[in-house]
Amino acid sequence: MVREALRERFIDTLKDLGGSAGNGRLREALGWQDDTYWTVHAALIEDGTVIAGRGRGGSVALAGRAAKPATPKAPRQPDLLAAAEAPAPAAAPKPAAKRGNGNGATLGFEAQLFLAADKLRKNLEPSDYKHVALGLIFLKHISLAFEAKRAALLAEDATAAEDPDEYLAENVFWVPKEARWSHLQASARQPTIGKIIDDAMAAIEAHNPGLKGVLPKDYNRPALDKVMLGELIDLISGIATGEAGDTAKDLLGRVYEYFLGGFAGSEGKRGGEFYTPRSVVRVLVEMLEPYKGRVYDPCCGSGGMFVQSERFVAEHGGRIGDIAIYGQESNYTTWRLAKMNLAVRGIDADIRWNNEGSFHKDELKDLRFDFILANPPFNVSDWGGERLREDARWVFGVPPVGNANYGWLQHIWWHLAPNGTAGVVLANGSMSSGQSGEDVIRRAMVEADAVDCMVALPGQLFYSTQIPACLWFLARNKNPGQEAGSAGGATEKERRWRDRRGEVLFIDARKMGALVDRTRRELSDADIARIADTYHAWRGEKGAGAYADVPGFCKAATLEEIRAHNHVLTPGRYVGAADAEDDDVSFVERYAALKAALDEQFAQADRLARDIRGSLAGIVIR
The SS3 call for residue 52 is strand
Instruction: Identify whether the C-beta of residue 10 lies closer than 8 Å to the C-beta of residue 41.
Output: yes
Bridge partners for 456 per DSSP: 470, 508
Q: Which residues contact 222 (CB under 8 A, 6 or more apart)?
A: none
Domain spans of the chain, in order of start? 4-72, 109-267, 276-575, 587-616
| CATH fit for domain 4-72, picks 1.10.3720.10, 3.40.1410.10, 1.10.10.10, 3.50.50.60 | 1.10.10.10
CATH topology of domain 109-267: Ferritin (1.20.1260)
Tell me which CATH code domain 276-575 carries.
Answer: 3.40.50.150
H-state helical runs in 238-368: 245-267, 278-288, 304-315, 332-344, 357-360
User: Mean pLDDT in runs of 10 for the chain (622 residues)?
Assistant: 72 80 75 73 79 60 54 36 35 38 46 77 80 89 89 90 87 92 94 96 93 91 91 86 62 74 62 69 94 92 83 75 89 86 82 91 95 92 93 96 96 96 95 94 98 95 77 94 50 75 97 85 94 97 94 97 97 84 59 80 88 82 70
Cβ count within 10 A of residue 101: 28
Instruction: Identify whether the C-beta of residue 93 lies closer than 8 Å to the C-beta of residue 118.
Output: yes
- The sheet carrying 20-22 orders its strands as 20-22, 59-62, 50-52
pLDDT given for residue 337 in this prediction: 84
Instruction: Identify whether the C-beta of residue 212 lies closer than 8 Å to the C-beta of residue 205.
Output: yes
What Cα–Cα distance (Å) separates residue 77 from each residue in 56, 105, 136, 389, 406? 8, 20, 16, 58, 49
Could you say which DSSP state residue 621 is in?
P
Angle between helices 332-344 and 126-154 (to 10 degrees): 30
Distance of CA 40 to the CA centre of its chain: 23
Pairing of strands 554-558, 503-508: antiparallel
CA distance 76 to 556: 54
HSE (side-chain half, CA atoms, 13 Å) at 514:
17
In terms of Cβ atoms closer than 10 Å to its own Cβ (0-12, 13-18, 19+), residue 112 is middle
- Geometric angle at alpha carbon 325, from 336 and 294, rounded to 5°: 155
The SS3 call for residue 107 is coil
Using CA atoms in the order 259, 261, 267, 273, what is the torsion angle rounded to 10 degrees? 120
Instruction: Identify whether the C-beta of residue 464 lies closer than 8 Å to the C-beta of residue 272.
Output: yes
Bridge partners for 454 per DSSP: 472, 506
Instruction: Identify whether the C-beta of residue 310 lies closer than 8 Å to the C-beta of residue 322.
Output: no
CATH topology match: 4-72 vs 109-267: no
